[in-house]
Copies of this chain bind each other. A is one copy, B any other.
Amino acid sequence: MAIADSAETATRWASSRAIDLWVCFGATFPLQQARDEGAIVVYYEGEPASAFRVFEQMRLASVADVRRVGVIGTTSEQLAAGRCAGVAAVVGIADDDALRAELLAAEPDAIVGSGQLERFESDRYGRGRLLRESVLLNPGPALTTDGVKRAAAGVDLCHREPEFIVLENRIRMRLRQVAEIGDEWHVALISGSGTAADELALAASVRPGRKLLLLENGVYGQRLEQMAARRGIPTEVVRAVWTEPVDVDDVEHALRAEPLIDAIALVHHETTSGLLNPLDRIAALARDVDVRLMVDAVSSFGAEKIELADSGIDFLACSSNKCLHGLPGAAFVLVSPEGAARAAEVPPSSVYLDLPAYIRSAEVGSVPFTPAIPALAALDAALAELIVEGGIAARRESYAARCAVLDAAFERLGLEQLIRPEDRSLCVRSVRLPAGISFERLHDRLKQDGYVIYAGQGPLAREIFRVCSLGALQPAALEGFADRLELALVADPAAA
C-alpha cells in the first residue's frame, strides 16, 4: 500500500477514504458521513462474531482487501473477530469506564464513546482526514514498504536476549555487505536521528590539543561546526558558497598549513541544496596526510557511490530513514580500524554519545543502552530489500531514473535549478521558486494532489523548494507529480 507506484496511487491517496467497508457487530451506528462518502456499512447479527463473518461481508460488498475494511464492536469478542480477520481498523464502542477498560484486552486501535463515533470515524478514516498516505518528496523520512513497517511491528524483544543480538549482527553484516567493507570495520548502531550519529562520530574524531578541519557549504556543515564548537574542539573551516562543492585545493592548502589538524569533517551530500561534495578526492587527501576523515553521509549512503574500504574514510554517519528506506529512530556510524583507534584516544564528553562504548558493546554481543528495536527490525528488512533490489548500484540506477523525470519536468516548465547538473546528488533537487509563487501555496496545492514537497532551509527558505527522489516510489508517480506541478505553475499560477 505504501509504494507510490503511479499517479493514480497518488490521486487515490489524496482523495479516498481509508475504510471502504465497516462491519458493525452488536449494534447499529448510522455512520452517515462514511456512507455519504461511499463507504458500505453493514450490521452483522446472527451467529457470534468471527473472522468468517467479516469475510462474508467482504464478499457481499465486493471489497477484496482487508486493508480497506474496519470492524466496530461493543464486546471484546467482536473486536477480537476483527483482529482475527486482519482488518485495518478495529474500533471499540463503550460508554462507561469499566467497559472501556475491559475492551482493551481485545487490543483495538481505539475505543470511543458511541456519541463520538461519527466524528471519530470521519477524522480518522474519512475523506478529509489529516493523517494519510502521501507521495513524500521530502528528504526523508521517506515512503517505506509494508514489509518494512511490518518488521517494525514484530514481536516484543528484550535487548539482552540472544535473538536481539542476532538481529543487530545481521544488520551489521548487511551494512558491511552493502558498503562493501570487511569485518574489520565496526558498525555502531545508535537510537536517534542522523544528527545523533553525526555527533557520535564527530565527538570521537579529534584528540585533545589537536584541531578539526571542517568543510562547510550548507546547513548540515554548519551543524557539524556547531557540534565542534560546543565540545570545545578547535576548528579550522574551509567554506564554499552553498551552491558550489568545497574546493579540494582549499582543503589541501588548509591541511598543509596547520599540522595540528587531526581530522577532517564534511557533509557528503548537503541536503540543504542537493549538492554533492567531492568525497573521494578529500578522502584520498586525508589518507595521504594520515588524518582521520568523518563523513556525514546521512542522505547519501545507500544511493550514491561511496568507496569505503581503504579510501581514507574513517567515520561514516548515516540514518535508517533516508536512502536506505527504513523507518526513523535508528542511525549508525561505520568506523574503520583507524577510526576506532582514534576514538579510543579521545576522552568521551558524553555518556550517550560515546562511540567507543558502542564499539566495545558490539564486540561482546551487547548494547550500551536500550536500543530502538522496532526501528532496527525495520532497518534489517529495508537492507534485505536493498540487497534483493541489487544493492547500491541498482538503487543508484533507480534514483537516476527518478531524477531524470524530475529534471525533464523542471526544464519543460522553465524552472531553474540551484545546483549545476554535474554537482547534483541523486536524491534532492533544489528548484528556484518562480517570481510571485509562494512556497506555502505551492506546497498546499500539491499536497491536495497527494504530493509533499519540501521548503528551503536557512537563507534559501524563501528562494527555493526541494523535491526529492528517495523512498519507495517509482518514476511513474513522479510523472504524475510533474503534471500537477505544471498545472499549478503554468495553467493556474494564481492558485499556486
Q: Are A2 and B155 in contact (CB under 8 A)?
A: yes
A248 CB to nearest B CB, Å = 27
Q: Are B131 and A350 closer than 8 Å at their CB atoms?
A: no
In whole angstroms, how far apart are the Cα atoms of A84 and B66 in the complex? 6
Interface positions, chain A 111-161, Cβ under 8 Å from B, are 111, 130-134, 136, 138, 140-147, 149-161
Q: A interface vs B, CB < 8 Å?
A: 1-3, 5, 50-52, 55, 58-59, 64-67, 83-87, 97, 100-101, 103-105, 107-111, 130-134, 136, 138, 140-147, 149-163, 166-167, 190-196, 199, 223, 226-227, 230-231, 319, 321, 327-330, 347-354, 369-375, 378, 381, 384-385, 388-390, 394, 447, 452, 454-455, 471
In addition to A109-B150, A142-B156, 7 A-B residue pairs with Cβ atoms within 8 Å of each other are: A52-B58, A101-B388, A101-B394, A108-B147, A150-B153, A191-B196, A230-B348
Q: Which residues of B contact A348 (CB under 8 A)?
A: 230
B-chain residues with CB within 8 Å of residue A58 when the two chains form the complex? 51-52, 55
User: Does the CB pair B52–A66 fall under 8 Å?
Assistant: no
A158 to B328, CA, bound (A): 10
Could you say which residues of chain B place their CB within 8 Å of the CB of A227? 350-351
**Smallest beta-carbon distance A444→chain B, Å:** 10
Chain B residues with Cβ below 8 Å from A157 are: 131, 136, 141
A151 closest partner in B (C-beta): B109
B155 and A141 contacting across the interface, CB-CB below 8 Å: no
> Given the complex, which residues of B lie within 8 Å of A352, measured CB to CB?
192-193, 195-196, 199, 353
Copies of this chain, whole number: 2
Interchain nearest-CB distance for A122 vs B (Å): 15
Tell me the minimal C-beta distance from A389 to chain B in angstroms. 5
CA distance A42 to B373 in the complex (A): 34
Report the separation of the CA atoms of residues A471 and B157 in the bound assembly, to the nearest whole angstrom: 12
Q: Which 8 A-B pairs have the closest CB atoms?
A: A86-B86, A329-B372, A66-B86, A149-B153, A329-B329, A65-B84, A153-B153, A193-B369
Q: Is the CB of B64 within 8 A of A84?
A: yes
9 A-B residue pairs with Cβ-Cβ distance under 8 Å, sorted by A, are: A52-B59, A65-B83, A111-B388, A130-B162, A159-B328, A191-B191, A192-B369, A199-B350, A230-B351
Contacts of A390 in B (CB 8 A): 97, 101
The answer to whether residues A160 and B105 also contact, given A51-B64, A67-B83, A155-B132 and a CB cut-off of 8 A, is: no
Q: Which of B2, B149, B350, B375 contacts A230 (CB 8 A)?
A: B350
> A159 contacts B141, CB within 8 Å?
yes
Q: Are A370 and B319 closer than 8 Å at their CB atoms?
A: yes
Which of B104, B147, B154 is within 8 Å of A385, CB to CB? B104
Tell me, in angstroms, the Cα distance from A390 to B51 when the chains sit together. 30
Q: A381 to B107, alpha carbons, bound, how many Å?
A: 11
**For A50, what are the chain B residues with a Cβ–Cβ distance below 8 Å?**
64
Q: Give Cα distance in the complex from A83 to B147, angstroms.
A: 10
CB contacts (< 8 Å) of A158 on chain B: these are 134, 136, 138, 141, 452, 454
Residues of B within 8 A of A192 (CB): 190-192, 196, 352, 369, 372
Q: What are the residues of chain B within 8 A of A52 when measuring CB–CB?
A: 55, 58-59, 64
The answer on a CB contact under 8 Å between A104 and B55 is no
A456 and B162 alpha carbons, distance in the complex (Å): 17
The reply to whether A196 and B329 contact each other, CB–CB distance below 8 Å, is: no
Contact (Cβ within 8 A) B66 A351: no
Determine the distance from Cα of A86 to Cα of B82 in the docked complex, in whole angstroms: 11
A384 to B109, CA, bound (A): 10
Given A350-B227, A452-B158: A375 and B111 within 8 A (CB)?
no
The distance in angstroms between the C-alpha atoms of A329 and B327, with both chains bound, is 11
Chain B nearest CB, measured from A92 CB (Å): 9
Min CB–CB distance A251 → chain B (angstroms) = 23
A66 and B67 alpha carbons, distance in the complex (Å): 13
Hey, which chain B residues are within 8 Å of A471, CB to CB? Answer: 156
CB distance from A359 to the nearest CB of B (A): 17
Query: What's the minimum C-beta distance from A77 to chain B, rounded to whole angstroms?
Result: 12
Pick the contact of A349: B108, B131, B349 (CB < 8 A): B349
Q: How far is the CA of A141 from the CA of B369 in the complex (A)?
A: 11
